[in-house]
Structure 1
Amino acid sequence: MAQAKLQTFGDGVGARKVIPQSLDYASGSHEIAHIHHRAQLVYATRGIVRIMTPETLWIVTSDHALLIGSQVEHELHMLGEVSMRTLYIDPAALAEPEPRCRPIAPGELLRAALLDLCAAGADTAGARRAALLEPLILDLIDTAPGAPDAARLPLPADERLRQICTSLIAQAANNETLEEWAARVGASGRTIARHFRVETGLSFGQWREQLRMAEAMSRLAVGHAPADIARELGYADARTFAVMFRRASGVSPQQFLRREGASA
């Protein structure tokens, strides 16, 4: 990653245990690599947020929230128009301070409390409301169930592999071979293949397919049509995409959508 920028808060605001912020982004927006002294809860009410840490790519939609530990370097990329509601949390206020990242299923109560806190004004009435909501939110975060189905993908540390992965994340439809990528970064195909296995536990082909699968599930979850997703992810047609999706997930894109609708 590029050198991270440290983000801080003013003294008055910084005294609060939970600092809410509402942010709207145009499609394609990017927050450069940075760190906070606080933990950060990221939740998207609209659109998709890709969050890259040194070890992992996370893909966040309205189905999940991601709690990022304090001092964890991360950058954000927006897919589609994004409405993000985020909380900056004093690590000491959490029952177990997060050392890295934890995906959580927010549940209706946490979701409602988070949105209400972000909407509270800075006047006396808003301060009273925040004083009531903050301890509730902290308790709900501490007890929130994990989200094992949250989209994530391991990222390599090797700069050559990182360059390949970053390019594919930005353009998942790219179908260049491993040998073509290896030539681009100045290494042999055999060297790149070996390092992919060692650093991610996956072959190059498996990594790219898992990236496309994570992107596909995220895009389906926010209402993209399967035919559009097939084109955006580099598949010849919707049928080819559906075959890949079923092989990787055990269900068709339509069955995935019905299952997501039933669990919403």
Structure 2
Amino acid sequence: MIIGATSYPRGTHLGLHVHREAQLLFASSGIMQVTTPKGRWLVPPARAVWLPPGIEHAVDVLADIEMRALLVPADWLAKHPEAPRLAHEFVVAVGPLLREAILAAFKQNSHPKRIDLLIELALFELAEDEDAATFMPLPTDPRARRVADMILADPASNRELEIFAHTVGASARTITRLFPAETNLTFKEWRQRARIMAAVEALGSGPASIKQISAQLGFSSVAAFGHAFRQIMGMTPSEMIRRSGGKD
């Protein structure tokens, strides 16, 4: 097993790379975004991302983070009882047991066998706590992907679906069909999630207030923003700011 503790400032970009080992990335504070060919995972406080061996990925630090990384050899992982459920990348909600297992692995002068047992326990917890709420799946159809890219580039835009569809040479009906078929989210749900992901990045960047970010992203009120944010992130914007080390 390999463990590593690293601090990264906001704005750090770790370009596309691959590990031979599986990897669990947990930020005890701060926010990061992990991108793989399947899409983007937002990893705010109280979340961790699991990456199987050989998965190409990039990491963007959206708010100063204290990262803890557990690297699990592929042959060791293959023998774990939960290996079949750990064959794809995902984000997990980090409950108390998983959090303590991760942090305990970094205790100074720990016996290697103790670290192995803690990581074995963590993998059982990973299989139980998968959380898809912070995942931005990317469609593969070229037309739908162009629409997705336009929204990600300007999540606050109020352009109608028909305008996006016309721009990429498709009908609104086609785009409406492609998004749930390829992302398991309706176009409206996908667009709302893109706005919340942009909000998380803005909250981590500062110094804009929650009210300013809400207005910038086109929400009708702070209350509407807070409701949408909590639905996806499982916490209010204020709670996320506190957990990531910022201020309201």
TM-score with structure 1 setting the length:
0.68
Matched, 1:100 2:81: no
Matched, 1:227 2:215: no
Q: Judging changes above 3 Å, is the alpha-carbon distance between structure 1 residues 225 and 252 closer, same or farther for their aligned structure 2 residues?
A: farther
Matched, 1:51 2:34: yes
Does the residue aligned with 1:175 lie in a helix, a strand or coil?
coil
For structure 1, list consecutive stretches of 5 or more residues without a partner in the other structure.
Answer: 1-17, 121-127
Identify the match of residue 140 of structure 1 among 121, 139, 154: 121
Q: Judging changes above 3 Å, is the alpha-carbon distance between structure 1 residues 148 and 106 closer, same or farther for their aligned structure 2 residues?
A: same
Provide the residue aligned with 2:222 in structure 1. Answer: 238
Does the residue aligned with 1:129 lie in a helix, a strand or coil?
coil
Maintained 8 Å contact 1:173/1:234: yes
Q: Judging changes above 3 Å, is the alpha-carbon distance between structure 1 residues 236 and 37 closer, same or farther for their aligned structure 2 residues?
A: same
Kindly state the Cα deviation for residue 196 of structure 1 after the two structures are TM-superposed: 1.6
Q: Judging changes above 3 Å, is the alpha-carbon distance between structure 1 residues 221 and 78 closer, same or farther for their aligned structure 2 residues?
A: closer
Distance 2:189 2:135 in 1: 14
Listed as ranges, the matches of 1:174-213 within 5 Å are 174-213=157-196
Maintained 8 Å contact 1:59/1:218: no
Provide the residue aligned with 1:155 in structure 2. Answer: 138
Matched, 1:131 2:119: no
Provide the residue aligned with 1:34 in structure 2. Answer: 17
Kindly state the Cα deviation for residue 68 of structure 1 after the two structures are TM-superposed: 0.9
Q: Judging changes above 3 Å, is the alpha-carbon distance between structure 1 residues 188 and 234 closer, same or farther for their aligned structure 2 residues?
A: same
Identify the match of residue 104 of structure 2 among 101, 108, 113: 113
User: Which whole-Å deviations, capped at 9, do the CAs of 1:60-105 have from their partners, x for residues lacking one?
Assistant: 1230212111122322222222332212210222314321124342
Kindly state the Cα deviation for residue 43 of structure 1 after the two structures are TM-superposed: 0.7
For structure 2, list consecutive stretches of 5 or more residues without a partner in the other structure.
Answer: 244-248
Q: Judging changes above 3 Å, is the alpha-carbon distance between structure 1 residues 232 and 38 closer, same or farther for their aligned structure 2 residues?
A: farther
Maintained 8 Å contact 1:39/1:91: yes
Distance 1:142 1:91 in 2: 13
Provide the residue aligned with 1:72 in structure 2. Answer: 55
Distance 2:152 2:106 in 1: 30
Kindly state the Cα deviation for residue 114 of structure 1 after the two structures are TM-superposed: 4.0
Kindly state the Cα deviation for residue 39 of structure 1 after the two structures are TM-superposed: 0.5
Task: Report how many aligned residue pairs link the two structures.
Answer: 230
* Matched-pair identity in %: 29
Distance 1:44 1:171 in 2: 27
Distance 1:84 1:102 in 2: 17
Between 195-204 and 129-138, report the one with greater CA deviation: 129-138
For the aligned residues, what is the CA RMSD? 3.7
Distance 2:226 2:116 in 1: 45
TM-score with structure 2 setting the length:
0.72
Maintained 8 Å contact 1:56/1:155: yes
